[in-house]
Amino acid sequence: MWLNVDIPTKKVTIHEDDCSYIPKGNSRYKKLNGLLRDGGWLHLKNREEALLEYEHNYREYERGYCFTCDTSAK
């Protein structure tokens, strides 16, 4: 699973590994497997780990739902 951490909008969205929204590489202010000025994409083993990461570190962030890969959003 991937956690998209977006600092400017204070929003965290969980994505499946094969979601088409996962970027192929780093961008200027956001990177894969790390955080830059605007956040980043963190890779977690599974949905439980992703939710734990969200609850422990981004509790004050809004939880976003991906309409492409998150079945709970449908």
d(CA 6, CA 13): 8
Interacting span for Zn ion (CB under 5 A) from 18-26, 28-36, 38-46, 57-65: 18-26
Asked if residue 11 binds Zn ion (CB under 5 A), the reply is no
Asked if residue 43 binds Zn ion (CB under 5 A), the reply is no
Give whole-number Cα distances, 60 to 7, 23, 41, 54, 68, in Å: 11, 25, 18, 9, 24
Q: Which is nearer to Zn ion, 42 or 66 (CB)?
A: 66
For Zn ion, the binding residues (CB under 5 A) are 15, 19, 21, 66, 68-69
